[in-house]
Structure 1
Amino acid sequence: MDLAGLGVDRGGHLLLRRALAPLPLGERLQVFGHDPALRVHLPAWCRSEGHRVESPEPDSESGLVAVVVRGEGHDGRWAGAGRAGSGRRGEVEKAPPARWGLAVRGARLEEGGPEPYFDLDDRDLVWAKVAPQLYAHAAARQWDPDTAVAWDEPFSTPPDVEAAVVQVMTYLVENEQVALVVPARFLGRVHPHFREVVQLLAVQVADEARHMEVFTRRALLRGDELGSSSVGGRASLFTLVEETDFTTSSFLLSVLGEGSFVNLLDFLVTHAPDPVTRRIAWLAMQDERRHVLFGVSHLAEQSAADPKLRGRLRASIERRSDALRDTVGLNADVFDALLLLSAGSWHPEEIEAGYARVQRLRHAMDEGRRRRLERLGFPADEAAALSALHTRNFM
């Protein structure tokens, strides 16, 4: 190996490692070169790599610096260290140890290093087989509020209808704030081995941030004031923020709350009085469906592995219902706004039809919750009873 004027400290180590790699243990490699520091740096590098150096008498004519005897080499530092998982594509361990720390799943592990603690370190607790596909779907379908919505599209709404839109948008922003906070709190607790789940939660947080932006922009598109925020609504949402258990939090937020939220967004797509409201409701609905799918999928897998889980989920619904027993439920201003939007006018017959549509919305929410509960293994009658206990604030 002739390094010419290249020093070990300036990239020569790569050429040496490449030349030594195919040699059997004990084989010798003659190293030539005329870098002034080579006779000092080469032995030091060889010791760090596990090779041995034989130093012949200096030969200025040939330029021979040393003879390196092949040792374990670069891989010696990794002997017996293993990998952070099997290294096979897509294979996820059930309980990754703390010593894997922040290593990428499947990477070779050098011995030592910190052992950070991640309390969500059990595959059955956080994983869903569909997680990698859902993340790929989410990443491919991120949308830009500035280009995905035609904010300057001309339309006209009567003042009272516009006020109804503002009120509903205010309610949506309030709910989406909580839908952002809840998954964000768990991001740093999930073991990095389950990276697709971490990525999916991160995208979910980004989704909710984007929803907050577009709902706020629509609320202020024709004016400069937002609608009302009820005590009952904030109390209902606070019970979601208070929940510190990943499983029950995912259940209450994604399976029950966001599932009902999808019905509400679909309702707005149908009854929106203007194209901007319809567009942002449709875009947000696509994201929310993905959030619900992940929540239902991973809880269904967890429920199949742990028959006792349904008891914990049942208790979380009952506990939340008890906590909200003295609240009035859905903000009356929101209910009235939904009624007016679905009615389309102040004519008594249209108001009556709008009221019936809002009741059908509530029925659709109930039916959706029942189906998702049954998918988690609850009998139909129990699913119906638990759905009835869900907060009257929708989320």
Structure 2
Amino acid sequence: MQTAIDIEALGFDAGAHLLVKHALLDVPVGASVHVTGRSPGWDAQLAAWCRAQGHACTLSATDSGTVAVVTRGGAAAGRWRDALATGRSAIAAPDAVAAQAQPRWGLAARGATVEAGSPEMYFRLDRKEEVWTPRAADLYAQAAAAQWDPETAIDWHAEFTLPDVVEDAVVQVFTYMIENEEAALVVPARFLGQVHPHYREVQAVLAVQVADEARHIEVFTRRVRLKGREPGLSTAGGQASLKTLLDETDFSVAGFLLSVLGEGTFVSLLQFLHAHAPDPVTRQIARLAARDEARHVAFGMLHLAERLEHEPALRVRLANAVQARNDALSATSGLNEEVFDALVLLAAGEFTPAAIARGYTRVQELMRDMADGRQARLEKLGFTSDAARDLSALHTRNFM
């Protein structure tokens, strides 16, 4: 049965090609559609369109006017004939993830057909093994569902008054945490722009981590200024420790140092702060931030577990990175003394000798808990118990 359409007086500069394209979709490759029309020059416009699309077009004159016979070209016809499908022909299954993303895919959606002649775009992190975890999509969905609004999630109007020495301690701890969260924002932000868009789930996880850290910096800063205070002390040792994170160029190693070791340790710190917070605002902030940080640790662990499964030798590089960071910071003072004293005071609950003794003991317990947590995560990544213990002990005294 012959397929025929009449485009009437509709010109190709006004959308007639849509009618022809739709008609061709209803016939198999190699079959023809007969086209008639009345717009001035429609037949020449049709012929030009067909050449661009890779369809054959034969024009013939009849008593009633020109008839065009358009024969449908192959699936890779016309301007698409040299294109590469990023999720179909290049990969076994729709939306499957390629082992290496190609520059010619550019910013195209995974699975899209990329037109020949599109510009090549180079992303440094273009190999699946460098960035991937199969759980990335799940982690992003969880993170998106768990986002919270600082304005409504925290009761900024809660009434409380702390002794000056306690308020100063809170301010110092949050001052310290702000600069650490700045590092935790900058590191994933730097890598975010280097990940090929083909690995969009990883992009999404990094993007939401950046959003989390921005929110933490906002609420920590608001808590610092809540009672009219200015930020406290930032030390050279703390800055030097964080700079080593910013200097790491390897995605997996940076994630290991930041998320598995640093942010994992920070989860313990936030839980400690939640348990010993002297006011409801600090307690709420610590609980919400700890929940976010735990997700960041989860991504780091899942990514590294995936990569280590295929590249066991990576453990040597990870261990060397911990040692190198320890060596680089050997001349620094480690944890800000003001921060340590502030934590002791917050854990004490009051300014008496007996309470301070209890606070000091609790901070020592916190540090042991941090070390045990690091060791457990390292063992989960395949390090021996002895190696995990030694590496945990080498982690920066600045916690992050």
Superposition TM-score tier, normalisation by shorter sequence? over 0.9
State the AA in 2 paired with 1:275. P
Q: How does 1:82-121 map to 2 (within 5 A)?
A: 82-85=84-87, 86=91, 88=93, 91-121=96-126
Alignment of 1:102-141 (within 5 A): 102-141=107-146
Which of residues 198, 203, 208 is equivalent to 1:198? 203
Task: Report the counterpart of residue 59 of structure 2 in structure 1.
Answer: 55
Shift in CA distance, 20/373, structure 1 to aligned 2, threshold 3 Å: same
- Inter-partner Cα distance in structure 2 for 1:321 and 1:177: 21
Aligned to 1:321: 326
Following the alignment from structure 1 to structure 2, what is the Cα–Cα distance between the partners of residues 34 and 92? Answer: 49
**3-state SS in 1 of match to 2:335:** coil
Q: What is the distance in 1 between the residues matched to 2:140 and 2:31? A: 49
Q: Which residue matches 1:69?
A: 70
Q: Residues 279-318 of structure 1: matches in 2 within 5 Å?
A: 279-318=284-323
Between the aligned partners of 1:194 and 1:252, the Cα distance in structure 2 is 22
Cα displacement (A) at 1:4: 2.8
Mapped contact 1:87–1:105 kept (Cα < 8 A): no
Shifted more, 297-306 versus 73-82: the winner is 73-82
RMSD: 1.9
SS of equivalent to 1:53: strand
Q: Deviations over 1:139-174 (max 9, x none)?
A: 122212112212112222222111111111101101
SS at the partner of 1:319? helix
SS at match of 1:273: coil
* Residues 4 and 172 of structure 1: CA distance in aligned 2, closer, same or farther (over 3 Å): same
Residue 83 of structure 1 aligns with an amino acid whose one-letter code is A
Does 1:383 find its partner at 2:355? no
- Taking the aligned partners of 2:166 and 2:313, their CA distance within structure 1 comes to 48
Normalising by structure 2, report the TM-score: 0.93
Match of 2:43 in 1: 39
CA contact (8 A) 1:51 1:68 kept: no
Indicate whether 1:155 and 2:160 are aligned: yes
SS of equivalent to 2:397: coil
CA distance in structure 2 between the aligned counterparts of 1:102 and 1:305, rounded to whole angstroms: 28
Equivalent residue runs for 1:19-30 within 5 Å: 19-25=23-29, 27-30=31-34
Question: How far apart in 2 are the matches of 1:133 and 1:39?
Answer: 53
The number of equivalent residue pairs is 392
Give the deviation of 1:66 after TM superposition.
2.7
Q: 1:4 to 1:183 in 2, by over 3 A?
A: same
- 2:13 counterpart SS class: helix
2:149 maps to: 144
Letter aligned with residue 378 of structure 1: F
Identity of aligned residues (%): 55
- Quote how far apart the aligned CAs of 1:204 are: 0.7
1:390–1:177 distance in 2 versus 1, CA, 3 Å: same
Answering whether residue 220 of structure 2 is matched by residue 215 of structure 1, we say: yes
- Which structure 1 segments of 5+ residues have no match? none
Distance 2:325 2:31 in 1: 72
Change (3 A) 1:122 1:74: closer
Unaligned runs of at least 5 residues, structure 2:
none
What's the CA shift string for 1:304-357, capped at 9, x where partnerless? 211211111111111111111111111111111111111110121111111111
Counterpart code for 1:191: H
Cα deviation digits, residues 37-75 of structure 1 (max 9, x gap): 42342222122223333434476xx5x543223130775
